[in-house]
Structures are given as structure tokens and as C-alpha cells.
């Protein structure tokens, strides 16, 4: 499924809508797209859709940030930007993080290509112009 | 009280001894070399490095001050926020030492510790205003008194230091981005490009995602990825101005609105010479910075924060 968005607000809305469809089920979401594509923005929308009150900030530096009370409806936000290969990602506690209840959303998921489990939502964002993005949604 | 401070929350393994806001010893095993290879902080690598280095660093720290473990009156350690595995190395060491030496332990907040780097600057009593600006944080805090804070503003997306790192990587400049952008900017023209300065209305918040995207877009599309030396320097100079301006604007506006007597700017980005210049031009002697060595993560600030809490007990 493809969707074109033309602003940050529209990117947020896609995330929010997606979270609305989840109905508190356990889900892993893997995001790809270059720097500035809007991966964090999309996850901010997911957070909003889950009813997370805290502000979702980029986890590039901390690598992992958790939001909401542990359990269904919580958000585990991971950023693999600084990690280079599967070995480093595994050492982050990768499988445990993917087992967290609620949504686990992973930015730069392409860095974990060999260790991405199925049964997840794959979102890839492509920059069309400074403000427009094409978001591809795939469940596999 | 002689306080041993321990810091392992992110990429630095550090130990320091502080007494009455004086640094008796301060040792930082910078891991920059390991991380330069990876363009950033590698967590488990970092935690393994912490584990390997912490005992050596602590012993060296005590030896530098001419002290033994039995001379220590209290321990302070960073407990949050940070990378779980890395924090655990410091916490385990600190709890063990506190137990064996039978001295009190203060587990302190990393951001509050950054504010306590002011203990070494001769700053006056609160109320004051603190700006913590680093790779992971961009936060404006009203310090009503020590231990009593109000967060006035925070980043809505990326931290300022993270933005410097990401823009540096696109410009082909080395990690960490702050110093390498500043160096390139010295040979560039600030007016050569115009990047958006975030303006969030009356809020004290910050936003760096839009600026990052604007710079990337400029390079990728307008310049078709063609970056010569002069262009890199010009972009660095123009970007740096756009990135630093909101830090100064928000902080000065908040300072005048809360009637803060002083401003303390800390965290890795506080080492920026250009940021110091901009604050100096507009706020003169009311603005304080730590020594550059105490801007990035260190254990002296942790010990100073711990000293405050242990003396209050």
C-alpha cells in the first residue's frame, strides 16, 4: 500500500491512524528511509495514536526510549542509526526489545536486515521533495 | 566530605573526587577513538569498555588525589537516564563500594549533574536558569533552588548535538559533529546560505528536525550532492548560526521572564566557542559556562551533585 503525504502533520496523521488500527495488540514496526525522511515524525504519530502523553523525542543518541506504562499500549522506540551490523544490534538486547508488549518501532531497520522477524509492519519512506513523502506500508 | 563520583551513563567512563566544590581529582577515559570508527555511541561496546576501564580509572583517580578508598566519605553515581547496560556498570561499582566502605551513596540524575558543573564556576545562589544542551538533550530549566527545578522547554524532536552530528556526517566532517562543524565554519560565510531558525511561538521548546532536513535537502537536491571544500565551510557556518540562535534566544527570553540572576549553559554543545561568543555578546557576564573539559560527561559534576544531596541528609 502506498500513500503520499505533503507535510509533517500528514506524516503524523498516518502514524496516528496506524496506531488506531492496532487495538492494543503486540506489533513490531520496522521503518526505513534516509536522514530527514520523517521516521521519527511517523513514530510520534504512532505514539499519539496510542495515547502516549510524554513527548516522543529522537532516540538516536540514547538508542532506546520507552514510553507509557509497560504493557499493551506502550511504545518502545529504537534507533539503529549508530549501529552498523547485526552483531551490535543483537547485543542491544534485540530479541527482548521485540518481545516487549505494545508497539516496538525500529528506525533504520535496514541495518538489521538479517535479523528482522516476520509478522511485522514494514514502513518505508521516500523523500519526493522537501515536504512530500511517499510511505509504503507492507505487512509480512 | 570527600565524594567519589562515578559516571558511565553514555560514552565516557569517568571518576572524580570532589570536596567542598573543589575538584581533587578528575579522570575521564574518553572513548571517542572507539566511537569515531562507528560515527556514534555503540552501547554494548560502550558498556564493555566501561567494565574494562572503570576499576583502573577509579584507582588512578584516587592516586592522583593522594587518597585511598578509606579516605572517601561518600559515593555519587549517575543512575538515569542513559544506556541501561552502561548505567549498570557504574551503579554496581558504586553500590559495592558504598557497601564495603560503609559510606552513603547518592544515585543522581544525569541532567541535574550537568547543572552541578556550575559548582566549580563561582556562580551565585539560585534562582537561575540552566540550559543543558548535548547529543541527547536540549533542555531549559528554571533552577528555583538546588533540588527544585521547573523544566521550561525541551526539544520536540532531535537534540541540538544530534543535529550537529547528523549534519556533520552529511558534510563528510568527522564525529563528534560540534567541533568539526565549528572548525569548518571558521572558513565559511554565515550568510552564504539561509537555513530556517526554528520559531515555536511563545514556547521555550526547541526543534532541530526541520533544520536537519533543510540542510540535507539543500545538499541532496539543490547542490545535487556536489560538495567542494568552500561549500562545506559555508554550509557549516550558516547551519551553525541557525542551530545556535534558538538556544540563545529562548534562554535569554526565559531569563528575563523569570528574573533569573544568572544563566548556566552546560552539556557537550556548551563547549562551542561560537555559542559562548553569542551568549557573551548578548548577556555579558551573567552567563556562566563550565571549563570545556566539564561540558561533556564527567564525574566531577556527578560528585558535586552527590555532595549536595549527601550533605543535605
Predicted local confidence at residue B264, as pLDDT: 98
Question: What pLDDT, on the 0 to 100 scale, is given for residue B32?
Answer: 44
CATH number at residue B252: 3.30.420.40
The C-alpha atoms of residue B76 and residue B131 are separated, in whole angstroms, by: 22
Residue of A15, A44, A47, A60 to mutate, interface with B, max B Cβ within 10 Å = A60
According to the model, what pLDDT value does residue B36 have?
56
Are residue B109 and residue B176 in the same domain, yes or no?
A: no
Tens-digit pLDDT profile for residues A77-108: 999 998 888 888 887 789 989 999 999 999 99
Facing residue for B136 by CB, picked from A44, A62, A83 = A62
C-alpha–C-alpha distance, residues A2 and A18, integer Å: 13
**Does B147 lie in the same domain as B269?**
yes
Residue B60 parent element (H or E) = helix B43-64
pLDDT for res B198 = 84
B243 and B112 co-located in one domain: no
Cell readout for A16 is: 496516528
Show the domain range for B102: 2-117+295-311
Which are the contacts of B249, defined by CB distance < 8 A and separation ≥ 6?
none
B102 in the same domain as B205:
no
Q: Scan for cell 528575563, then name that residue.
A: B256
> In this complex, which of B158, B216, B220 lies closest to A58 when CB atoms are compared?
B158
Helix axes B273-283 and B229-258, enclosed angle (nearest 10): 40
Same domain assignment for residues B252 and B178: yes
Whole-angstrom CA distances from B7 to A66, B60, B64, B265 are 22, 15, 17, 20
Q: Domain count of chain B? A: 2
A33-48 burial code (b ≥16 CB/10 A, e <16): bebbbbbbbbbbbbbb
B212 with B92, same domain?
no
- Hey, is the C-beta of B110 within 8 angstroms of any chain A C-beta? no
Whole-number Å distance between alpha carbons of B193 and B264: 31
| Mean pLDDT for all residues in chain B | 92
Interior angle at CA A38, CA B191 and CA B164, nearest 5: 40
Per-residue pLDDT, B77: 98
CA distance B235 to B226: 12
pLDDT for residue B40 = 53
Nearest Cα neighbor of A31 from A89, A104, A128, A129 is A104
Q: Which residues lie below 8 Å from residue B96, measured CB to CB, with a gap of 6+?
A: none
- Summarised one tens digit per residue, pLDDT across range B134-158 is 999 999 999 999 999 999 999 999 9
Contact A7, B213 (CB under 8 A): no
| Residue closest to A15 by CA, chosen among A45, A36, A40 | A45
* Distance (Å, whole) CA B50 – CA B33: 14
Measured at the CA of B137, the angle between CA A110 and CA B89, to 5 degrees, comes to: 75
Q: How far is B217 from chain A (nearest CA, A)?
A: 6
My answer on whether B151 and B273 are in the same domain is yes
Interfacial A residues in 68-127 facing B (CB < 8 Å): 81-84, 88, 91-93, 127
CB B181 within 8 A of CB B173: yes
Distance of CA A136 to the CA centre of its chain: 13
d(CA B111, nearest CA chain A) in Å: 14
What is the C-alpha separation between A21 and A1, in angstroms, rounded? 15
Distance from CA of A27 to the nearest CA of B (A): 23
Question: With 0-12 CB in 10 A as exposed, 13-18 as middle and 19+ as buried, what is A90?
Answer: middle
**What string of H, E and C letters represents the secondary structure of A49-100?**
HHCCCCCCCCCCCCCEEEECCCCCCCEEEEECCCCCCHHHHHHCCHHHHHHC
Secondary structure class of A6 (helix, strand, coil):
coil
Under-70 pLDDT residues of chain B? 31-46
Q: Strands of B31-135 (E only): list them.
A: 74-80, 105-109, 128-133
Alpha-carbon distance values, B96 to B76, B99, B104, B125 (Å): 12, 5, 11, 34
The per-residue pLDDT string of chain A (140 residues; one tens digit each, 9 = 90 and over) reads 899 999 999 999 999 999 888 766 789 999 999 999 999 999 999 999 999 999 999 999 888 899 998 888 899 999 999 888 888 888 778 998 999 999 999 999 999 999 999 999 999 999 998 889 999 999 98
CA B42 to chain centre: 18
Same structural domain, B133 and B212: yes
Interchain CB distance below 8 Å, B42 and A57: no
Residues B260 and B182 placed together within one structural domain of the fold? yes
> Starting at the edge strand that comes first in sequence, how are the strands of the sheet with B138-145 ordered?
B148-154, B138-145, B128-133, B263-266, B287-288
pLDDT digits (tens, 9 = 90+) for B35-46: 555 555 555 556
Tell if the CB–CB gap between A82 and B221 is shorter than 8 Å.
Answer: no
- ipTM reported for the complex, 2 dp: 0.92
The reply to whether B86 and B193 lie within a common domain is no
Q: Mark whether B89 and B65 lie in a shared domain.
A: yes
B184 with B67, same domain: the answer is no
CB contact under 8 A, B216 and A36: yes
Q: How far apart are CA B247 and CA B241, in angstroms?
A: 10
- Dihedral sign of CA atoms B34, B40, B41, B44 in order: negative
- B64: helix, strand or coil: helix
Amino acid at each position: 500500500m502506498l500513500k503520499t503525504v505533503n507535510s509533517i502533520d500528514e506524516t503524523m496523521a498516518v502514524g496516528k491512524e496506524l496506531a488506531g488500527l492496532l487495538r492494543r495488540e503486540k506489533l513490531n514496526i520496522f521503518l526505513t528511509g534516509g536522514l530527514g525522511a520523517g521516521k521519527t515524525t511517523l513514530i510520534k504519530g504512532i505514539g499519539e495514536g496510542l495515547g502516549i502523553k510524554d513527548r516522543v523525542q529522537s532516540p538516536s543518541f540514547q538508542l532506546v526510549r520507552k514510553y507509557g506504562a509497560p504493557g499493551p499500549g506502550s511504545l518502545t522506540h529504537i534507533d539503529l542509526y549508530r549501529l552498523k551490523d547485526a552483531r551490535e544490534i543483537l547485543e542491544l538486547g534485540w530479541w527482548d526489545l521485540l518481545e516487549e508488549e505494545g508497539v516496538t518501532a525500529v528506525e533504520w531497520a535496514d541495518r538489521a536486515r538479517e535479523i528482522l522477524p516476520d509478522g511485522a509492519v514494514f514502513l518505508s519512506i521516500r523523500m519526493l521533495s522537501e515536504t512530500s513523502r511517499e510511505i509504503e506500508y507492507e505487512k509480512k | 566530605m570527600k565524594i567519589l563520583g562515578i559516571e558511565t551513563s553514555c560514552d565516557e567512563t569517568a571518576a572524580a573526587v570532589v570536596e567542598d566544590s573543589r575538584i581533587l581529582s578528575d579522570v575521564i577515559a574518553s572513548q571517542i577513538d572507539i566511537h569515531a570508527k562507528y560515527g556514534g555511541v555503540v552501547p554494548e561496546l560502550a558498556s564493555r569498555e566501561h567494565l574494562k576501564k572503570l576499576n583502573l580509572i577509579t584507582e588512578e583517580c584516587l592516586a592522583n588525589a593522594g587518597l585511598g578508598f578509606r579516605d572517601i566519605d561518600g559515593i555519587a553515581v549517575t543512575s538515569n537516564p542513559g544506556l541501561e547496560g552502561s548505567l549498570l556498570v557504574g551503579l554496581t561499582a558504586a553500590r559495592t563500594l558504598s557497601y564495603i566502605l560503609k559510606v552513603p551513596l547518592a544515585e543522581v540524575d544525569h541532567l541535574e549533574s550537568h547543572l552541578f558543573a556550575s559548582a566549580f564556576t563561582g556562580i551565585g545562589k539560585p534562582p537561575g536558569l540552566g540550559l543543558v544542551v548535548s547529543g541527547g538533550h536540549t533542555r531549559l530549566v528554571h533552577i528555583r533552588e538546588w533540588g527544585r527545578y521547573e523544566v521550561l522547554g525541551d526539544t520536540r524532536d532531535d537534540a541540538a548535538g544530534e543535529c550537529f552530528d547528523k549534519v556533520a556526517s552529511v558534510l563528510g566532517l568527522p564525529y563528534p559533529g560540534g567541533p568539526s562543524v565549528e572548525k569548518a565554519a571558521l572558513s565559511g560565510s554565515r550568510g552564504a546560505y539561509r537555513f530556517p531558525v526554528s520559531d515555536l511561538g511563545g514556547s521555550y521548546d526547541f526543534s532541530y528536525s526541520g533544520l536537519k532536513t533543510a540542510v540535507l535537502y539543500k545538499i541532496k537536491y539543490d547542490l545535487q550532492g556536489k560538495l567542494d571544500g568552500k561549500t562545506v565551510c559555508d554550509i557549516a557556518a550558516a547551519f551553525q548560526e541557525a542551530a545556535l540562535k534558538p538556544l540563545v534566544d529562548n534562554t535569554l527570553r526565559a531569563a528575563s521572564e523569570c528574573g533569573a540572576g544568572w544563566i548556566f549553559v552546560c552539556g557537550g554543545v556548551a563547549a562551542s566557542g561560537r555559542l559562548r561568543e553569542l551568549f557573551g555578546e548578548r548577556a555579558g557576564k551573567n552567563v556562566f559556562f563550565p571549563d570545556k573539559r566539564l561540558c561533556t560527561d564527567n564525574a566531577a559534576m556527578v560528585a558535586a551533585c552527590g555532595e549536595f544531596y549527601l550533605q543535605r541528609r
